[in-house]
Amino acid sequence: MEFVDSHVHLADHAFDADRDAVIQRARSTGASALVCVGESLDAARRSRELAERFPGVCYHTAGVHPHDAASFDPARDLDGIRAEVGRGAVAIGECGLDYHYDHSPRDRQRAAFGDQLALAAELRRPVVVHTREAEHDTRAMVEEAGRGGVLGVLHCYTGSVALAEAALAVGWFVSFSGIVTFKRWSADDVVRVVPDDRLLIESDAPYLAPVPHRGKRNEPTWVSLTAERVAAVRGVHPREIGARTASNARRVFGLA
């Protein structure tokens, strides 16, 4: 089954011992591209090194995660992200709002997210957005950015149908992770509401391994299990989900 892993933290130290083997396994099970997410400038640099070593397979993004928004320095960090885009980063992020963990004060999260959305508008790049228990503010900021022409992805989506629909209405994409295979997942309605041409799938590895690998270190090869679950909910063949989401990923990120 062909697929694109639209969101993987391959630069994470969890992969230091066997990163090349993980990429090889993903390739041999159908991954045609891996979007390696830089959730910090350091992770972005290491993700870029992967993109350089595996051209046409690995791509990188650059941003500052909401968990780290308290230490976001606009001058330094926007310059750093801009430089990564100059070196081929396909998107800005992940950035966003996480009011579940609240690792950074919410006003700092909004400021860092807003600055990255503005940079996305300036550089005409899509954004990869993390949102958790921050629906009201996410919706307002995504709608404003969307009206300004910014495209993006709500990644690892676990939010409401209403927020998904608001993002879809401004042209955005919605990505599902292995969470849709968990026993406690009860939101198949949101998996159904995303149109075929806006749907993405992702591992978010090393986190969130799908059933039956739950609790282990996740890896991109298991995105096929998420595709199977999404396919079952939507009543289509997993291969169709793999192909459609791969083509959507290529379109939103401008992959070769």
Sign for the CA dihedral angle at 47, 95, 92, 182 comes to: positive
Q: Choose the stretch contacting Zn ion; rule: CB under 5 A; options: 24-32, 127-135, 169-177, 243-251.
A: 127-135
Kindly write out the interface string for residues 74-113 of this chain, putting x where it contacts Zn ion by CB under 5 A and - elsewhere.
----------------------------------------
Q: Is 60 in the site for Zn ion (CB under 5 A)?
A: no
Q: Nearer Cβ to Zn ion, position 59 or 238? A: 59
Burial call 23-47: b when 16+ CB within 10 Å, e when fewer:
beebbebbbbbbbbbbbbbebbbbb
19 touches Zn ion by CB under 5 A: no
Q: Give whichever of 34 and 231 is closer to Zn ion, judged by the CB atom.
A: 34
CA distances from 247 to 86, 146, 148 (A): 24, 21, 25
Q: How many CB atoms lie within 10 A of CB 1?
A: 18
Site membership for Zn ion, residue 130 (CB under 5 A): yes
Stretch that binds Zn ion, among 11-19, 125-133, 164-172, 183-191 (CB under 5 A): 125-133
Q: Is the peptide bond before 195 cis (omega within 30 degrees of 0)?
A: no
Closest CB 188 distance from Zn ion, rounded Å: 21
Residue 202 beta carbon to Zn ion: minimum distance, rounded to whole angstroms? 8
Of 39 and 238, which has the nearer Cβ to Zn ion?
39
Looking at beta carbons only, is 218 or 248 nearer to Zn ion? 218
CB of 25 to Zn ion, least distance (A): 20
Cis preceding linkage at 94, omega within 30: yes
186, two tokens: 């009860």
Nearest to 152 by CA among 161, 139, 163, 142: 142
Residue 86 phi, psi (nearest 5): -60, -25
- Tell me how far, at minimum, the Cβ of 250 lies from Zn ion, in Å: 20
Tokens read off for 111: 């400021």
Q: Which is nearer to Zn ion, 125 or 130 (CB)?
A: 130
- Total residues at the site for Zn ion (CB under 5 A)? 1
Q: Whose Cβ is closer to Zn ion: residue 32's or residue 203's?
A: 203
Minimum CB separation of residue 126 from Zn ion in Å reads 15
Check whether the bond before 206 is cis (ω within 30° of 0): yes
Residues at the interface with Zn ion (CB under 5 A): 130
